[in-house]
Amino acid sequence: MPNSHLTEINLMAATYCRLGHIRAGLYVTWLLFSLTLFILCIVRSHASSVHYQPAVTQLLCTTLLTVVWCTVMLCTFFLKNRFLQFYGQEFIGLMLLWPLWLGGAIGFSVDLKRWSFRCHWDNICDVQTTILAFAWIGWIILEAMLILCAKGMLQSMHGWHKMFEEQLPHRDEGRVMLPLSPSMDGSVMLPPSPSAV
């Protein structure tokens, strides 16, 4: 029986580590989409000064905040001294960005429908359509991040009442730290064993 318990713990650690790498990949993807959307919004603002679209300004601010948030979360994943440590903190940050992304995507959808007749004069339709696509894709990535964050909190190893105190995974999660030798400082990283013998 003890071997099956150790195998279960190793599987939980491997799943926890994979969840961290999936989150890091999603944050990199979201960062790239946000930077692209930021540049497209700047192009849209500069290309036509005839009419003002508040949704473009909202998307500019939202993408700027998202770039900062993604950078902080990627630093949290890759650095040892972490500023944010718990899923609850990540969940609150993502929930603050959620209405901004949704409002920007909906607002730009409404503005695009309202100003679609101007495409023939401004020659900016391709940029507007691309902004709309990137706004909705960014919101979908945010939804995926919220689902992964909720999954991490609900699969808490400490019980449901402490799910906001569940620690965020980092790149070394699931590895065993061993000293190099009794006389040397430092450690060696070993991958977790797939089964305990």
Contact at 8 Å (CB) between 159 and 100? no
The pLDDT of residue 44? 84
Rounded to an integer, what distance in angstroms lies between the CA atom of residue 171 and that of residue 27?
A: 14
Hey, where are the domains in the chain?
A: 2-190
Max mean pLDDT range (45-49, 127-131, 154-158): 127-131
Rounded to an integer, what distance in angstroms lies between the CA atom of residue 44 and that of residue 50?
A: 11
CA angle 7, 8, 9 (to 5 degrees): 90
| Eight-state DSSP code of residue 16 | H
**Over the stretch 92-126, which tens digit does the pLDDT of each residue have?**
999 999 999 999 999 999 987 776 666 665 567 78
Give yes or no for residue 11 having a pLDDT over 60.
no
